[in-house]
Amino acid sequence: MKKELYSPKETAEILGVSVLTLQRWDNSGKINAVRTPNGRRRFPKSEIDRLLGDNTPTPSERNLAIYCRVSSGEQKKKGDLDRQVEYIKSRLDLKVYDNISIITDVGFGLNDKRKGLVRLMKLAQKGDISDVAIRYKDRLTRFGFNYLDMYFESHNVKIHILDGELKDKTVYEELTDDLLSIITSFSGRLYGTRSGKNKVLKDKVREAIEYVTNLPDENQKL
């Protein structure tokens, strides 16, 4: 005997949409659900067949992931992370998306094991997102952006970059942090993470960066 009523999850799988989209369709009258005696939502087979037999093309579901990153906990405390999120929201027409996820990271752009980045890539792999929005290209990664771009494109995910470059002061701060993270990694392997040489090397590199940064423009020729 064939089933006459289907759960939201079963119905969503048959129609190829998310449960949230199915709920919106029910609320808007696109599909009619019935309620069980205990108040659970169920979808008649006739309603499912009606939608499956509808020749009107249904646009693919668009799920957006907003990805934001700062390099340090201090930047997060200053509200930089929250401002990134709000800025992206203000620049996009959020009404065109069925679902919106906010994913954030606190960590260096050279770290490819950031929890938020890993989660973002898994969502793309599973087909749970169609779009990714970032303010700057280097929010995803400092180097190798093209590889990530190809990865997301292979999963039919489009990356939206809202702005071109960071402001100069922030560029110096971010690049300094990234460079020091590289120095820390290599010096830690050479001398050990607790070695005094490790700290001396980091301090000298920071001093060199500050010195070059403060040189007059005519001497900044590389």
Of the listed 7, 18, 46, 71, which one is catalytic? 71
Question: What's the rounded Cα separation, in Å, for the pair 178 and 140?
Answer: 14
**DSSP secondary structure code for residue 222 in this structure:** -
Residues 6+ apart with CB under 8 A from 125: 155
Q: How far apart are CA 195 and CA 214, in angstroms?
A: 30
Is 71 among the residues known to form the active site?
A: yes
Task: Give the integer Cα–Cα distance in Å for 110 and 139.
Answer: 10
Question: Cα–Cα distance between 134 and 38 in angstroms, integer?
Answer: 44
CB neighbours of 47 closer than 8 A, spacing ≥ 6? 31, 32, 33
What are 34's two structure tokens?
């019935």
145 contacts: CB under 8 Å, gap ≥ 6: 137, 138
Which residues share a beta bridge with 160? 133
Active site residues: 71
